[in-house]
Structure 1
Amino acid sequence: MMKKILSILLKIVGALVILITLFIATVFIVNVFSNKSEAGKIQPYGQFVAVDGKNMNVFIQGKGEETVVLLPGYGTPAPALDFKPLIDELSPFYKVVVIEPFGYGLSDVTEKERTTENMVIEIHEALQQLNIHRYTLMGHSISGIYGLDYVNKYPNEVSAFVGIDSSVPTQGGNDAPFPTDTYKLLKKSGFYRLLMKLAPDQLIAPDVNDETREQIRILSLKNTFNPNNLNEGENFSSNFKATENLTFPKELPVIFFLQANDTETKNWIPLHEEQVKNSVHGKVMTFEGGHYLHHTRSKEIVENFREFMSEIK
């Protein structure tokens, strides 16, 4: 009797192992074929500029005399598409330039470390190639860190800095080890694609048409957890530390647009007030909304930015 029960149990375990193996193999194979299929569906936008021997994608809209350069938050899969509501509000008044750093959007992947220094130099080189020498920097999230370094490196080029719920060097919470191996496994195995399929609402996208949303989905699957994305995550701690002792130049106009109720970061608003306390022209404004304020508050952001700049002039 016991032998019979044991035999049945072994058969059940064996069948389960086979089913799990088949499931994992199916997820992997579907991902491989989907990646190849989707690569041909990516619709180009913007233009390439040569930076450090590679192609960096930039998107330009508007013909204003003054230029606004947009820098994305960490891991934004398609910055030029993610910023669409903001670009549309800015472009009647400004020349708007969206930079897609290496590993973002349609830009190449680079072998260089994703340090603040390297990323800032690359962004500057892209603008040099475009013959853009005077501009406002407008950055979302992590670009508050890169932007702080940037305005100190190139003070004669930046006419103002605008932070959209932008990171602060002293905000804390960036010392935890970055789970690179876990993310690599998720991507290579195809389970990240499966998770996106099971929970499509987790795709971060503005209110755009279905075609644009599909492009964001494809580029999210392509770029999330790519080598540059992972390396940038690994450099979080050192990148934040590198800017700890930096301040915005006193004469540089700085305005922050922040979510009113950030429950993740302690003292979110006071941290930004501290950043502009010595600025001749410094301002902090809050809006109801999430971290991606430019998805829902672009109109208010542009109206208040224009008012802020006109008061300075």
Structure 2
Amino acid sequence: MNVAKTVETKTTGTKSRKKRNLWLKIIGGIVGVLVLFMGIVFVVNAISNGVEKKKIEPYGQYVHVDGKKMNTYIQGDGEQTIVLLPGQGTPSPVLDFKLLIDELSPDYKVVAIEPFGYGLSDETEKDRTTENIIGEIHEAVQQLGIDRYVLMGHSITGLYAVSYVNTYPDEVLAFVGIDSSVPNQPGMDVKLPLKSMQFLQDSGLMRLLKKVSGDPYESLAFDEHTKEQMDLISNQVGSNRSLLDELRHLGSNFKNAEHLTYPHDLPVLLFVQSNNEHNEQWIPLHEQQVKQSAQGKMIPMEGSHYLHHTKFKEIAEEFKNYMKQIQ
């Protein structure tokens, strides 16, 4: 028996065990720190949600739809009415549209609607299909006693509006899209990481990410109070079950509408982002859409997807001119 070799083997084995134990301690320490970190983030988020909820100031008025409360906001008393609808996931549609509402309300009655899951409205367990969404919005409009109006909206409203105006053709005077979606736009069948989005919100990581990423409204014309309220509501609404279910139905909602068009006699005005780097067909798709209308018009604007944050004065002015032309 080679004693030297046996001793060497034992020594090597002892060193390996020590290294393994050291790595296990390091990994265990890292895991422990991560667990502690996540625990702190979760607790801070839960406490903050409770505190912030009390700081949110109510605005608008509720209407009762399907046994739930839907928040609406009315500004201005003009003869013509604009029903204003948000883009997908906009935390507080009323406040998000504030700059545009202020520009339109001296001449029009502007009615901003917060669908279920948005702003101060209740959530709902009903599937977020186009049919359900437009039915609920229409019920809210009826509850407010409005029977003739211009339908105006941002982003995803372009998808819902095609179904809406074909379902209620005798009510809508015109459709105005603010960088609005087109039913046949490509890439809308992508599977979204909904569970990850829910985890980020529930864990408090989304709040942390927002905190370190800075103020998204910093360079915009919103007053500080409005910015604060939008941030408070965003933390409350986040990825609630209604908004997540709307994302879950996104692909099927687009698929079901891909062959829908606006009625030929419906005036259609589209404000479109001219510098969309993610979709080279963005302008051609909207050009094709306005051709569906005998009084269709497209106005390209350079800016972000939220054109109404920076181009609210131009949008209001162009809209007023357009309405004079079609009357």
TM-score (norm 1): 0.96
CA distance in 2, matches of 1:186, 1:150: 33
Q: In structure 2, how many angstroms separate the alpha carbons of the residues matched to 1:276 and 1:88?
A: 27
Letter in 1 for 2:88: Y
1:148–1:158 Cα change, 3 Å? same
Instruction: Confirm whether residue 55 of structure 1 aligns to residue 52 of structure 2.
Output: no
Q: Which one-letter code corresponds to 2:161 in the other structure?
A: G
Contact 1:205/1:213 (8 A) holds in 2:
no
Task: Tell me the alpha carbon deviations over residues 216-260 of structure 1, each in whole angstroms, 9 at most, x when there is no partner.
Answer: 111111112110110000111111112112111111110100111
| Residues 64 and 114 (structure 1), Cα distance of their counterparts in 2 relative to 1, 3 Å cut | same
Q: CA RMSD in A?
A: 1.5
Q: 1:295 to 1:192 in 2, by over 3 A?
A: same
Alignment-derived partner of residue 252 in structure 1: 266
Corresponding residue SS for 1:136? strand
Structure 2 vs 1, CA of residues 270 and 8 (structure 1 numbering), >3 Å: closer, same or farther?
Answer: closer
Q: How many matched pairs?
A: 313
In 2, the alpha carbon distance for the partners of 1:284 and 1:260 equals: 11
Match of 2:11 in 1: none
Work out the CA distance in 2 between the residues paired with 1:13 and 1:273. 57
How many angstroms apart in 1 are the aligned matches of 2:200 and 2:24? Answer: 30
Shift of 1:265: 1.7
Q: Determine if the alignment matches structure 1 residue 155 to structure 2 residue 165.
A: no
Does structure 2 conserve the Cα–Cα contact (< 8 Å) formed by 1:78 and 1:106? yes
Match of 1:213 in 2: 227
* Offset at residue 210 of structure 1 (A): 1.4
Specify the SS of the correspondent of 1:37: helix
Corresponding residue number in structure 2 for 1:102: 116
For residue 230 of structure 1, what is the aligned residue in structure 2? 244
- Which residue in the other structure is 1:276 paired with? 290
1:257 & 1:8 partners in 2: Cα distance? 62
Contact 1:171 1:265 in 2 (8 A): no
Distance 1:41 1:223 in 2: 14
Aligned to 2:303: 289
1:115-194 mapped onto 2 (5 Å cutoff): 115-194=129-208
| Cα distance in structure 1, aligned partners of 2:110 and 2:318 | 17
Post-superposition Cα deviations, 1:151-200, rounded to whole Å, max 9, x if no partner, equal: 10111100010000000011111111121111111111111111111112
Distance (whole Å) between structure 2 residues aligned to residue 115 and residue 13 of structure 1: 46
In structure 2, the CA distance between the partners of 1:205 and 1:232, relative to structure 1 (3 Å rule), is farther
Give the TM-score, by structure 2 length. 0.92
| Other-structure match for 2:8 | none
User: Per-residue deviation at 1:9?
Assistant: 3.8
Retained in 1: the 8 A contact 2:270–2:290?
no
Partner SS state of residue 166, structure 1: coil
Q: Which amino acid aligns with 2:184?
A: T
Structure 1's 212 and 276: CA in aligned 2 closer, same or farther, altered over 3 A?
Answer: same
* 8 Å CA contact retained: 2:92, 2:120: yes
Which residue of the other structure, out of 70, 77, 84, is the alignment partner of 2:84? 70
- Which structure has the bigger radius of gyration? 2
Q: How many angstroms does 1:212 deviate by?
A: 1.1
1:114 aligns with 2:128: yes
Provide the residue aligned with 1:310 in structure 2. Answer: 324
- % identical aligned pairs: 55
Change (3 A) 1:205 1:50: farther
Matched residues in 2 for 1:125 and 1:254: separation? 23
1:14 aligned onto 2:28: yes
Q: CA separation in 1, counterparts of 2:267 and 2:61?
A: 30
Assess if the C-alpha contact under 8 Å between 2:73 and 2:112 holds in 1.
yes
Amino acid at match of 1:94: Y
What is the rounded CA distance, in whole Å, between the counterparts of 2:23 and 2:158 in structure 1? 58
